[in-house]
Structure 1
Amino acid sequence: MNPIDAVRINFNPDQLFLLNICLAFLLFGVALDLRLDHFREILKSPKSTIIGLSSQWILLPALTISLILIVQPPVSIALGMALVAACPGGNVSNYAVHLAGANAALSVTLTSISTLGAILLTPLYFSWLSQLIPGSEAYAGTIQVDSGQMLSTILQLILVPIVLGMGLRWRFPEFTAKIRRPVGILSMTIFLGFVFVAVYANFQQIVDYLHLVFLLVLMHNFLALTGGYWFARWNKLPPADIRAISIETGIQNSGLGLILIFNFFDGLGGMAMIAAWWGIWHLISAFSIATWWRRHPQEIGQEAAL
């Protein structure tokens, strides 16, 4: 057993409750931007939506397992990678796509569907992917999670805040328009503040073990971003859709992953380190690539010509 497999992140039940609230509030803020029209986009332009979901639900898990089999990291780290790949798209992807000048409507549609789909798909995907990881049988007692319990947790963390947010927008549109930006800023500030406190409380563990996950997360995220980009481009989608799908594939809801890790895996060190560092790094990578694309809009025409 690798030493990181025995590491337990310092996290108590009160902090877990606060993290649950933070994530639910973050999703509530995202839901304030959602309308039923976003879901009707599937019927109007199904190809881009299908390609985007295929990139997240098929390509990313395949790339993840391939990377695990090639690199062969410690088992708990591999399980963390599998869980991240099984999570839905991240909440900051919509803003990053907008910043990049790409198809924001497609981004919102993909985030919404993958988030709602996570209610069933995240437990199923993780259960399937974990069986493909060499050595995971040693963690059989840990990873045999009650799917019903995980489903209940995800329902509370995803479905409830999304329904509340969309319901508020539908019932009180003017009020929602006033609070949407402040709620978005507040939710992100609270979440980042919580991450900072959690990092500070586990600073020594991060110093001791970050080197084991640093490059691995970079490779994993790079594969997700570039894989999504080339998969969409290979399917001859419009350039703005290509960029949106690239970001959607590379931004995963690692906050949800962390909650599941602390709820069901007792804060298993390798898993928690992967999810925590992914949560930090994908912000850096997403906004870096979005800023680059925003400064090079002329390259959209070049992408279309290739």
Structure 2
Amino acid sequence: MYADIQVAFSPQSLLLLNGILAGMIFGVSMGLRREDFARVLRQPRAPAAGLVAQFILLPAATCLATTAFAVPAELALGMILIASCPGGTFSNIMTWLGRASVPVSVSMTAISSIAAIVMTPLNFGLYAQLNPATRDLLRDISLQPLNLLLLVALVLVLPMLLGMSFGKRHPRVAERAEKPMRAVTLLVFLCFVVVAFARNQTLFMDYAGQLLLLVALQNAGALLLGNLAGRLMRLPQSERRAVTMEVGIQNSALGLSIIFTFFPHAGGMMLIAGFWSFWHLLVGLCLALYWSHNSEVAHA
């Protein structure tokens, strides 16, 4: 159904995308310290709530919804992949803009990026097998879990460790470079996505209504699950909102990297991840601005 979508990128393009993702992680990680991980051990409720929503509730709910509503196989597989990815790196910025708890957001980003080495391949493989529509598609592709695990480790964990090391050795340089680096890598990443959209403008317009509905519903579900997890753990409002943002801002850049590397001809998956790349940032920014002007937040 989506075979005409031109997603077969060259090896150079795949290398560029992985480099962009690694650069984004490196930039965010320059501000991370060992204390951020120690904070999780001292105050584990908020990160635990977020990780449960991120890696257990969201993938399971996505699989259930795509099966119950008979979402086409490639679109469903793309949604399951996005749900299996860790929180996006820009959740920290959105959390800061929304006057929520930045320490909780940073801790969750760090822990979820490490957990993604195991949880992203595990959840993707598990729920793609449980959905009857995606099971056959995944079987045709014959994805090697170890290769996926290696990709996640190289583009998430290794840049994080390098960024933390650089930030510790050169704190002043890291402080000056962090924000510009985030802005540049985001701009380059968005340009990369725009090029993919431009090559398939007519097809994107043809499927825009269906795709926006699926992406909007999944993103709303992710935000609601994050908020629900925070409420069940009885977190303070600032921490609950940080968890909400962390679960709602998925690492769609990692999703695109996985698709272009292992599923270069699965146009439906690329459509889902591409729309996610814009939608979750738009919704996250709107939500953060709403929180920042909410009188209840200002006094929280």
TM-score class normalised by the smaller sequence: over 0.9
1:29-44 correspondence to structure 2 within 5 Å: 29-44=27-42
Q: Give the gaps of 5 or more residues in structure 2.
A: none
Query: Residue 156 of structure 1 aligns to which amino acid in structure 2?
Result: L
CA displacement at 1:8 relative to structure 2: 4.7
What is residue 106 of structure 1 aligned with on the other side? Answer: 104
CA displacement at 1:133 relative to structure 2: 1.0
Q: Which of 254, 263, 266 in structure 1 is aligned with 2:264?
A: 266
CA displacement at 1:10 relative to structure 2: 4.8
Cα separation, 1, equivalents of 2:194 and 2:33 = 32
What is residue 64 of structure 2 aligned with on the other side? Answer: 66
8 Å Cα contact 1:11/1:267 also seen in 2? no
CA displacement at 1:57 relative to structure 2: 1.2
What is residue 221 of structure 1 aligned with on the other side? Answer: 219
8 Å Cα contact 2:6/2:199 also seen in 1? no
Cα separation, 1, equivalents of 2:59 and 2:220 = 14
Shifted more, 162-171 versus 202-211: the winner is 202-211
What is residue 249 of structure 1 aligned with on the other side? Answer: 247
Shifted more, 53-62 versus 206-215: the winner is 206-215
Cα separation, 1, equivalents of 2:68 and 2:283 = 23
Q: Do structure 1's residue 120 and structure 2's residue 118 form an aligned pair?
A: yes
Cα separation, 2, equivalents of 1:128 and 1:6 = 28
Greater than 4 Å deviation, 4+ residue runs: 5-8
Q: Which of 67, 91, 94 in structure 2 is aligned with 1:93?
A: 91
8 Å Cα contact 2:121/2:148 also seen in 1? yes
Pair 10,201 (structure 1): closer, same or farther in 2 beyond 3 Å: farther
Q: TM-score w.r.t. structure 1 length? A: 0.93
Q: TM-score w.r.t. structure 2 length? A: 0.94
1:39-188 correspondence to structure 2 within 5 Å: 39-188=37-186
Query: Residue 164 of structure 1 aligns to which amino acid in structure 2?
Result: L
Query: Residue 14 of structure 1 aligns to which amino acid in structure 2?
Result: Q
Cα separation, 2, equivalents of 1:269 and 1:143 = 14
CA displacement at 1:7 relative to structure 2: 4.2
What is residue 236 of structure 1 aligned with on the other side? Answer: 234
Cα separation, 2, equivalents of 1:261 and 1:297 = 42
8 Å Cα contact 1:87/1:118 also seen in 2? yes
Query: Residue 282 of structure 1 aligns to which amino acid in structure 2?
Result: H
CA deviations 1:173-230 (Å, max 9, x no partner) are 1222222222222222222222222222222221222223110110000011112112
CA displacement at 1:5 relative to structure 2: 6.1
8 Å Cα contact 2:7/2:196 also seen in 1? no
- Count of residue pairs brought into register by the alignment: 300
1:286-301 correspondence to structure 2 within 5 Å: 286-298=284-296
CA displacement at 1:134 relative to structure 2: 2.0
CA displacement at 1:152 relative to structure 2: 1.6
Cα separation, 1, equivalents of 2:210 and 2:179 = 38
CA deviations 1:226-276 (Å, max 9, x no partner) are 121122113211101110111111111011111111111124011111111
Shifted more, 153-162 versus 133-142: the winner is 133-142
Shifted more, 190-199 versus 260-269: the winner is 190-199
Cα separation, 1, equivalents of 2:132 and 2:108 = 32
Cα separation, 1, equivalents of 2:268 and 2:126 = 19
Cα separation, 1, equivalents of 2:207 and 2:165 = 43
